[in-house]
Amino acid sequence: MALIVLAADKGAPGVTTAATALGAIWPRPVLLAECDPAGGDLAYRLPAADGGVLNPARGLLTLGATARRGLHPEQIHEHTQKIIGGLDILAGLTHGEQAAGLTWLWGPLGRALATMPGADVLADCGRLGGHPQLAELTAEASLVVLFTRASLDHVAHLRERLQIMPREPQVGVVVIADPRQYRTTIEEVRRIVVGTGRNLAFVSGLAHDPKGAELLRGQWGGRLDRSLLIRTARELGGRLAAQVSAPEPVMGVPVEPSSGARP
Ligand SMILES: Nc1ncnc2c1ncn2[C@@H]1O[C@H](COP(=O)(O)OP(=O)(O)OP(=O)(O)O)[C@@H](O)[C@H]1O
Ligand SMILES: [Mg+2]
């Protein structure tokens, strides 16, 4: 099914948090793959399905050790683990230095993830730019989603990134926005990134919600389900899933639906 790359240019806008929230509410079977060359966080942040701890060494590291002679999509699930709530994850590297020995992995991994039978893949690729070979993975995606905070420095770096990214695959932007000025913040960022002249699939939002982000690290429950983070993740996830299942020619930048000022 589809590979969707989630990434950022600079800073830590909340890619891993967004990836976890999207994985939790994704409307189809999904695998959350930590492909951040700087190392993964999920095994340290989230409980395993049985309430125990995840094994940080089982994931990209074990996959890399066995995939030298070729990597088939069916092999991926030999290295995944289930987190609480039942979501399948491929845990990332345990530290950034490991990426130096795995530069060959990103291309074959991208091809395997993009052709996984029966599940979409959300790949958390962290910050783009530091590892040129990661482009071999992002090239295999149906969609690249760039996350940003709304601050001037974050948006300035995002603009630069958009200008140097290849025309394919298509790119969408998600602003981690204050719920009190949700629609206006997204619209402001939209105006700035449109100035790059680059076609974008969409400019959308996800709530800045520290309580929701904290709750996401523990047991799924009603409070988390009602949080702004999860409510806005549902809206975003529905849009992303629809985008990759029915790709259409991209003409300019669709404006957010104006369904009120608050998410
Ligand atoms: N939507 C959000 N609302 C509020 N706080 C958030 C949100 N997303 C992330 N955070 C907080 O921001 C910090 C960084 O989040 P996260 O690890 O998801 O960012 P990242 O972009 O993946 O960073 P890195 O590049 O280091 O991997 C964490 O403390 C997290 O709780
Ligand atoms: Mg991260």
Q: Where are the domains of the chain?
A: 3-245
Distance, CA 210 to ligand 1 centroid (Å)? 9
Is the pLDDT reported for residue 20 higher than 80?
yes
Q: pLDDT averaged over the chain? A: 92
Specify whether the CB–CB gap between 83 and 47 falls below 8 A. yes
State residue 255's pLDDT score: 44
> 93: how many CB neighbours lie within 10 A of its CB?
24
Distance, CA 14 to ligand 1 centroid (Å)? 3
For ligand 1, atom 10, which residue shows the shortest CA distance? Answer: 14
Distance, CA 124 to ligand 2 centroid (Å)? 7
Q: Which amino acid is at 40?
A: G
Which residue among 5, 16, 149 has the greatest number of ligand 1 atoms within 8 angstroms of its CB, and so is best to mutate? 16
Cα–Cα distance, 143 to 159 (Å, whole number): 18
Is the pLDDT reported for residue 249 higher than 80?
no
State residue 197's pLDDT score: 86
What is the arithmetic mean of pLDDT over 90-94? 96
- Which ligand lies nearest the alpha carbon of 148? 1
State residue 258's pLDDT score: 40
Compute CA distances 257 → 45, 110, 210, whole Å: 34, 32, 25
Sign (positive or negative) of CA dihedral 168, 77, 119, 34: negative
Cα–Cα distance, 140 to 146 (Å, whole number): 16
| Residues above pLDDT 70, as percent of the chain | 93
Model pLDDT for residues 144-172, shown as the tens digit of each residue: 999 999 999 999 999 999 999 999 999 99
**In degrees to the nearest 10, what's the CA dihedral of 14, 130, 65, 217?**
-10
State residue 196's pLDDT score: 87
Q: For residue 132, count CB atoms less than 10 angstroms from its CB and return exposed for 0-12, middle for 13-18, buried for 19 or more.
A: exposed
Cα–Cα distance, 137 to 83 (Å, whole number): 24
Cα–Cα distance, 30 to 22 (Å, whole number): 10
Put simply, whether the predicted model's pTM sits higher than 0.75 gets the answer yes
Which residue among 17, 214, 231 has the greatest number of ligand 1 atoms within 8 angstroms of its CB, and so is best to mutate? 17
Q: Are strands 81-82 and 88-90 parallel, antiparallel or unpaired?
A: antiparallel
Distance, CA 185 to ligand 2 centroid (Å)? 23
Model pLDDT for residues 24-47, shown as the tens digit of each residue: 999 999 999 999 999 999 999 999
What is the arithmetic mean of pLDDT over 13-18? 98
Class for the domain spanning 3-245: alpha beta
